Structure formats: structure tokens, C-alpha cells
Amino acid sequence: GEVAALAKSAVAFDPSASDLPAMAESPEQFRGQSRLPRFAEPLRYDLVLRPDLAACTFSGSASAAVAVSSPTRFLVLNAAELAVDRSSIRFQDWAPTEVAQFEEDEILVLGFDRELPLGEGVLAMDFTGTLNDQMRGFYRSKYEYNGEARNMAVTQFEAADARRCFPCWDEPAFKAKFKITLEVPAELVALSNMPVVKETVCGPLKTVYYEESPLMSTYLVAIVVGLFDYIESSTLEGTKVRVYTQVGKTSQGKFALDVGVKSLDLFKDYFATPYPLPKLDMIAIPDFAAGAMENYGLVTYRESALLYDEQLSSASNKQQVAITVAHELAHQWFGNLVTMEWWTHLWLNEGFASWVSYLAVESIFPEWNNWTQFLDETTSGLRLDALAESHPIEVDVNHASEIDAIFDSISYDKGASVIRMLQSYLGAERFQKALASYIKKYAYSNAKTEDLWAVLEEETGEPVKDLMTTWTKQQGYPVIYAKLNGQDLELEQAQFLSDGSSGPGMWIVPMTACCGSYDLNKKFLLKGKTDTMHIKDFAASQSGQNFWIKLNIDQNGFYRVKYDDELAAGLENAIKAKKLSLMDMIGIVEDSYALSVACKQTLTSLLRLLNAYRHESDYTVLSHVTSVCLSVNKISTDANPDLSSDIKQLLIKLLLLAAKRVGWDPKDGESHLDVMLRSLLLIALVKLGHDETIKEGIRRFHIFLEDRKTPLLPPDNRKAAYLAVMRTVSTSNRTGYDVLLKIYKETSEAQEKSRILGSLSSCPDKDIVVQALNLMLTDEVRNQDAFYVLGGISLEGREAAWAWLKDNWDHVVKTWPSSSLISDFVNSTVSPFTSEEKAAEVSEFFATRVKPSFERALKQSLERVRISARWIDSIKSEPSLAQTVQQLLLQEF
């Protein structure tokens, strides 16, 4: 059993893995290696951990059954920020003669005075460490119980931080079984991946023994120790599912529990494999770096991503909880049972979990129109991947800090989108069947991207590998230029880049087209640079006004389309005549926006196109239209200050019809999506400076202050009201800021806190923005929540925010060391700039400060600044912009 499984995983090893000779002479030879050698591999860990919640330290003992496969004197494993007790180390009965801990490489090398016997032996050692406050490794989180501050102990090991908790072979392909034991204060809840087998109490302490886990990767090991309440339910198969919350708050866990149980049932069918563990716990952690983490059998969440309260949460909070739960539970199969062989294949985890989460949520909440909302993911993937500083889905990574940096929109959103593209090409049923056999084939083991393609090819007979390799090994994506030439539609592909250049990339593009009706459609692979599609039979039934051709039906493909003027005009008419699917309407406005940014079409024509959406009333479409409107508003402020207030008025006018329809007050029996639409439009109108909406927001805010339960300001509309309040705050009139801050301090609801944090920094007054930023440095704001403040910074506050970041840089890097958090700081302060001079200034500041954890984020941000600068130059020379704006403003709706 075990050795066979081991052999299986050894075969799957990446060739880039360290091939260091087992016969090294000294520990020094292992220095500078970011991958572990594989001549010794763990089979089973026996782990005892004793956290001290008061002192914020822990001690532990680990013993690992190790299989030695070639003659060696050395054992090499990972350890970081741990004090290993050298005198405790034994392999069988032997103490090492050399012990070297290379902090830089995060490895521990043990040298023995003799060759280790081939086969199985046991390595044991004791160690101590700190329960840190950095939300990684074994860390402490703070909560309040009966008005008293308390600590809990929590783990977050992905991507490479298990080594901060115990010495281990901390790479995903070293799967082993884990038997965990905890010694903790008797009154606390202590959880791990597996169920408890035995508990003994000794004075104030208890020892909790957990069942041995199946083969799993180190990054999925988890422990939580603190005070919690739980609610419980079970799947159809009888798996116990629990949601743990702060004491007294279990009612907020009901929604997630329900979604969790339904998702498990659904995934079991979809993957044709039962949930692999005896139990599943989901738990809300007050300090949490990411949104959630799929630890095997013990999934951890930040509170806002797990808890839902009928009275206090918004419809969008509800969606976020559902998507997050479905995503993490999808990982229990895709990620935990079958694990990527190395982080290069991270997208197999994240892209798939994201894609499958939409599948689950679509089936649980069909009225949410979830697959149309999926285009949000595709959009962010397309936007990021249009940068020269993007990266391929499959990307070389070695050092731990590089790994963290690829948890980005490429791995998640592009990953999920190319899966959707492939599924639509192969057909849903064939695709599902093949996925199920992939899961079976690689269960309890590891796989690479190519392993998945091989299974799909075998099951479907289609050239999956050739097709998909162009999408996963190559960064970027194509724009397809479509030109009508008589009865022919001429197509040409070129890599799309937002800086207006075209890259060298070439793709095998699954093309679809329909003409005049969705019933008249075609499907083919574009393999070369150009191709021609005959549309004779298509076009015959079409004429004049009604003639339109839409490529990339329902935006199933990860590419953009640039239509010639005639085709574009046809589509504009089709939009006005409501002939197109929601997804296609989204695709057209997104492509058009992206082409404008790249100066491949004018802002003038983008505004004309936006005008075609003025009667639209669907949330999913309008969410893309508003996002484009807000970007246009920002760029026009810098590009054409004289015209920008007219452009603002025009954008307001475009959104106003729909906004008037939904109003401020919820209507009986209205749909989930209309609730989302109301909040979307109110927020957009406030951001665009629409006086009436701002006044009404402030009026309702005052009513809300008198009566926090007033139906006049339900949670869905609060963000809009808070933003409205902050529009009028200034240093001389700061009541609004102080009142919001007071509400922030009073509430214990994470979602409400995040709404307020995202509003405080949106003030046009730069001194107030600085105050909001300074708030992040105080105990009032948890480090996990900094990005809400950063995400809200007003355009007017960007200079002040940048100056603030420079002033506080040393503190910021120390406090937010994780890649995603520090990248947020850089991205949100740098990206809003729009001039070459600013880009140069930023580069200079970071020349001596850049680190691998945010290097790519910095380059991407700088690229965005330069792209904006170029766009502005081009807008300045658009001859008919002013005239078009006036014309559209005068037009009656």
C-alpha cells in the first residue's frame, strides 16, 4: 500500500526537482537549493503540538517514518523560524553528527556518521516556535469573549508555511499520513483535519488524539485551538458537517452549513467519488490572510466569507459566502485528493475549484444567473493577461515567496475561464466523465497539467493537449480581427496587449459564430494566423438593419474580438433591439473597453456603444457597464479636464433609467439580482457624483443613525449611503467620518466593518484619506482588513496615499509580509496614476526596495500607469469626442 503509493508519486516528480546526489560530502552542498532532494521521503508523521496561548509560543515533537531510497548520509527537510533542539534529533538510534539549518533556504540538513540503511526508518526531534501575528504558519488570532481579549491558535500552511510549525518535507508531492496530537487547555475546542479518537484530561490541560489521516500534502494540515460554538448537519452519505463560529453566533453559520452540505452531495456525484474524509469542519477565524483555505477536513475562513446574517448581510455577501464555500469544498477533491505535483500547476487547484464552484452555486441557486456572473472572472483574467508583465498559467516557480505571488487572476480567473472554454468545446457530459476518471486515476496522489490533458484525450479522442497547451504554457491571449468581405468573414488573430503592441503569441482558438439568430451558428478551430469563414448560407436570410454577426458566442472563449465598422454597427443595433444574450452583451462592452484602452478604437466610439445599453436593466450586464463607466470617468478626469464634467453627466444619464426603476426601497418579492442591481447603481451614481443620489444617501444615513434597524437603509444599500456621506466630509466638516468610525467600532460584524473601511478612504479630502490610511496602523483595524481601506482610496487622494506609503514603507513591509497583502499596497497606490513621470518616480523609489513577493505586482502596476498615460495621449487627440458627448447628452431617452 504505502510503498506503492510512494513509488507512484516518485514517478510523477517534476524534472526540475532537486537532483542533488545522495552522496554529498557536507551539509553545505545543500545550501541554495530551493527544492528538496528526493532520496528520502516521508511516509507517516506523528506530531505532538503544545501551543501556549498566553505566551504565544509552542513546543512540539515530530517523528516521521521515512523511506530511504538511495545510499546517503544525509536527511534534508524544510524548517523555518523553528528552534530545533539538536540534542533531541534521532534517526532510529543515531544522533546526527552534523546539523545545519539554512534559514535563507528554509531547510534543515542532518548529517550522520554512517550511511542510512535503505528502507524505512524513523526520524524524531523536538522543537519550539512562536505563535506569530503574521497570519501564516502557526499563528495567533485575537477575539473577545465576555468582554475580554483572548488568543486562539490557528494554522495557515499554504503555500509553504507548514515548515514554520514543524520540520517536514514541505512540498505538495511528498504526500504522507498524519497522526496529530494536541496538548491544550481543557476548556478549549481543539480541531484538526481528522476526528478525535481519544481525549485525556490532566489538571488544566487535555491531550487530544486525532485519527490518522489518509495520504495528504503538508500544506493541507490544519489545527485550530480556541473557544467556539458549532452547528451540525450531515450529507446524504452521512458525513458530519459542522460550522464553528464565535460563541453565541452559530445562527450566522446556517447558510454556509446548508451550502456546504449541498455542495458535498453535488461534488460526490460530479466527480463520482465520495467525500474522502470522515468529517468536515468549517470555521470562521477573526484574523485570516486570504478569504478561505481548503485544509483537508478543516476548512478555515475569514468571518466575512463564512458568516451570513439575514438582518445584517447583503445579497452580495450571500453570494460571496456561497461561492467561497463551494470553492473550498471543491478543493477537497480537486486539490486535496488529487494534488498538483508542483506549484507550477497551481492553476489545476485554483482554476478548477473556481470553475466548479460556479457549477455548484448555479445548481443550488439557479435564480442567481451564476454562469453569467462568471464573466466577472473571465473579465479580470482578460484584463490582467493583457499586460506584458503577465505570466503563463503554467509558470516556473521555486522559492516560497515566488509561489505565493502566483495566487493571482491568472491562476484563478484565466485558469477557470480556459476550463470553461474547453468544457464548451468538448461538451459538458464528456468533460464531466473524463474529470471523474482523472480524479479516480490520481486519487491520493499528484498530477501535472499534462496528466489531465492525457486523460481528457483518451476519454474524448479530441486533440486536447495541442489545443490547451497554447493557452496554459503561453501568456496572453489573442484578439480576433473580424472583417466582412462580400460573402466572406475574414479572421485574423494577434496577441492582445493593453499597451497597443501585438505580441508574438499564436493560439488554437475555439471559434464560434452566429448570424442574426442563435439558431444560425457555426463552430471551428482557428489554427493559423488567418482564416476565412463563408457566411453565404448565413447571410442569405439576413438583410440591412437586422444583419449582425456575433463571434465567441456567450464569451465561452478566452479571447477578444475586434469587429470592423460594419459588423460593429450591426451589433450595436442588435444590442438596442435586445437580440443578444446577456453574456454576449457583456462581451461586447468589455472587448470594446479593452480595445479603447489599447487605443485600437476611440473613446468616442466606446461612449456611443455605452449609449446602446441605456435601456438595459439586468444586473449582470449593468455590472460590467458600470465598471466601464467608472473607468471612463477616471481616465477622462486626467485626459480632458474641460470635458470631464460633461462626460460625467453623460455616464450618469446612462445609468439613471435603470436606477430610477429600482429606486432606494426594496420591493416585495423582488429578485436577488434586482437587490444586487440597486446597490450596484446607487454606488456607481455616488461615485460619479450624482447630487440627488448623494443627498438621498445622506438623508437615509441620518435616519439610520436614529434607528439602526430602519427599513430605509437595509444592508444592501449601506455602502452607497456611506460613500455618499464621505463625499461631503472634509477636514473642516468631519462629522461623517467620526460617526462612521463610531459605527465601525461598535459593530462586531466583519461585513459591516469592511463596508465602512472601504468608505472612509473614499473621501475627496486628502487629509481625511491619510487619516483613513493611518487607521490601518492602529489596533482598530485588523491587518487582514487593510485591503478594504486600500481598495477605497479616492482619485483625489492618490497623491497623498502614495506619499503615505513611502513614509510608512518600512512598517508596511514588516506588518504585511505576505505576497497578496503587500502586493495590494503597491497595486492600489501605484495603479491609479496616469503619467510617465509618475511611473518613473515610483520605479525609482522601489529600485532598492523591491522583493520577490511583490515584484510582479509592482511591474504590473507600473505597466498600468504607462498604459493609462498612452490612452490619455490618444484621447486628447480625438477630434469628435467633445461633439459626440454633447450630442449624446442632448439625446432624449
Work out which of 163, 331, 718, 753 binds ligand BES, going by CB under 6 A.
Answer: 331
Work out which of 165, 243, 290, 360 binds ligand BES, going by CB under 6 A.
Answer: 290
Binding partner of residue 293 among Zn ion, ligand BES, none, CB cut-off 5 to 8 Å per kind: ligand BES
Tell me the CA distances in angstroms from 220 to 17, 291, 294, 364, one per residue in order: 21, 16, 7, 27
Residue 339 bridge partners (DSSP): 446
158 binds ligand BES (CB under 6 A): yes
Please say which residue, 353 or 770, places its beta carbon nearer to Zn ion: 353
Binding partner of residue 324 among Zn ion, ligand BES, none, CB cut-off 5 to 8 Å per kind: ligand BES
CA 787 – CA 196 distance, rounded (Å): 37
Please say which residue, 158 or 281, places its beta carbon nearer to ligand BES: 158
Q: How many residues bind ligand BES (CB under 6 A)?
A: 17
Binding partner of residue 158 among Zn ion, ligand BES, none, CB cut-off 5 to 8 Å per kind: ligand BES
323 binds ligand BES (CB under 6 A): yes
Give the nearest distance from C-beta 284 to Zn ion in angstroms.
Answer: 17
- The answer to whether residue 120 is catalytic is no
Binding partner of residue 323 among ligand BES, Zn ion, none, CB cut-off 5 to 8 Å per kind: ligand BES
Please say which residue, 64 or 353, places its beta carbon nearer to Zn ion: 353
Give the nearest distance from C-beta 326 to Zn ion in angstroms.
Answer: 11
Non-local CB neighbours of 223 within 8 Å, separated by 6+ positions: 49, 138, 153, 154, 155, 180, 182, 190, 191, 192, 298
CA 522 – CA 519 distance, rounded (Å): 9
Q: Which of the stretches 185-193, 208-216, 236-244, 290-298 binds ligand BES when contact is defined by CB under 6 A?
A: 290-298
Q: What is the separation of C-alpha 788 from the centre of its chain, rounded to a whole number of angstroms?
A: 15
CA 875 – CA 634 distance, rounded (Å): 13
Where helices occur in 244-345 by DSSP H, the ranges are: 254-270, 315-331
Tell me the CA distances in angstroms from 443 to 298, 460, 608, 650, one per residue in order: 19, 21, 53, 56
In 10 A of CB 660, how many CB atoms? 9
303 is annotated as contributing to ligand binding? no
Please say which residue, 331 or 345, places its beta carbon nearer to ligand BES: 331
Q: Map residue 721 onto helix, strand or coil.
A: helix
Binding partner of residue 291 among ligand BES, Zn ion, none, CB cut-off 5 to 8 Å per kind: ligand BES
Work out which of 47, 153, 159, 340 binds ligand BES, going by CB under 6 A.
Answer: 159
Non-local CB neighbours of 518 within 8 Å, separated by 6+ positions: 553, 581
Position of minimal CB gap to ligand BES:
291
Binding partner of residue 58 among Zn ion, ligand BES, none, CB cut-off 5 to 8 Å per kind: none
Q: Are strands 521-526 and 509-515 parallel, antiparallel or unpaired?
A: antiparallel
Please say which residue, 329 or 480, places its beta carbon nearer to ligand BES: 329
Give the nearest distance from C-beta 853 to ligand BES in angstroms.
Answer: 12
327 is annotated as contributing to ligand binding? yes
Work out which of 41, 211, 287, 328 binds ligand BES, going by CB under 6 A.
Answer: 328
Work out which of 72, 78, 263, 324 binds ligand BES, going by CB under 6 A.
Answer: 324
Please say which residue, 395 or 740, places its beta carbon nearer to ligand BES: 395
CA 508 – CA 529 distance, rounded (Å): 10
Q: Are strands 298-302 and 292-293 parallel, antiparallel or unpaired?
A: antiparallel
Please say which residue, 636 or 827, places its beta carbon nearer to ligand BES: 827
Position of minimal CB gap to Zn ion:
353
- C-alpha cell of residue 781: 483595524
Q: Which of the stretches 95-103, 245-253, 347-355, 668-676 binds ligand BES when contact is defined by CB under 6 A?
A: 347-355
Work out which of 170, 341, 350, 590 binds ligand BES, going by CB under 6 A.
Answer: 350
Write a three-state SS string for 827-891.
HHHHCCCCCHHHHHHHHHHHCCCCCCCCHHHHHHHHHHHHHHHHHHHHHHCCCCHHHHHHHHHHC
| φ, ψ (nearest 5 deg) of residue 155 | -110, 150
CA 333 – CA 225 distance, rounded (Å): 26
| φ, ψ (nearest 5 deg) of residue 236 | -60, -35
Tell me the CA distances in angstroms from 229 to 12, 145, 147, 749, one per residue in order: 42, 12, 17, 17
Residues in the chain: 893
Please say which residue, 353 or 686, places its beta carbon nearer to Zn ion: 353
Give the nearest distance from C-beta 220 to ligand BES in angstroms.
Answer: 9
232 is annotated as contributing to ligand binding? no
Give the nearest distance from C-beta 533 to Zn ion in angstroms.
Answer: 38
Q: Which of the stretches 76-84, 116-124, 247-255, 348-356 binds ligand BES when contact is defined by CB under 6 A?
A: 348-356
Q: What mask, x for binding ligand BES by CB under 6 A, covers residues 369 to 408? A: -----------------------------------x--x-
Q: Which of 41, 171, 328, 459 is catalytic?
A: 328
Give the nearest distance from C-beta 519 to ligand BES in angstroms.
Answer: 36
Give the nearest distance from C-beta 270 to ligand BES in angstroms.
Answer: 18
Binding partner of residue 863 among ligand BES, Zn ion, none, CB cut-off 5 to 8 Å per kind: none
Amino acid making up residue 71: P
CA 311 – CA 295 distance, rounded (Å): 30
292 binds ligand BES (CB under 6 A): yes
The DSSP 8-state label assigned to residue 158 in this structure reads T
Please say which residue, 159 or 266, places its beta carbon nearer to Zn ion: 159
Cell numbers 489545443 correspond to: 467
Give the nearest distance from C-beta 327 to ligand BES in angstroms.
Answer: 4
CA atoms within 13 A on the CB side of 392: 16
Please say which residue, 327 or 856, places its beta carbon nearer to ligand BES: 327
Work out which of 293, 395, 418, 603 binds ligand BES, going by CB under 6 A.
Answer: 293
CA 183 – CA 207 distance, rounded (Å): 4
353 binds Zn ion (CB under 5 A): yes
Angle at 42 between CA 136 and CA 82, to 5 degrees: 35
Strands laid side by side in the 137-145 sheet: 137-145, 148-156, 223-226, 189-192
Amino acid making up residue 313: S
| φ, ψ (nearest 5 deg) of residue 198 | -155, 150
- Nearest C-alpha neighbor of 152 from the set 142, 165, 162, 138: 142
Q: Which of the stretches 291-299, 425-433, 794-802, 825-833 binds ligand BES when contact is defined by CB under 6 A?
A: 291-299
CA atoms within 13 A on the CB side of 623: 20
Could you list the active site residues?
A: 328
- Positions touching ligand BES (CB under 6 A) are 158-159, 290-294, 323-324, 327-328, 331, 350, 353-354, 404, 407
Binding residues for Zn(2+) are 327, 331, 350
- Positions touching Zn ion (CB under 5 A) are 350, 353
Binding residues are 327, 331, 350
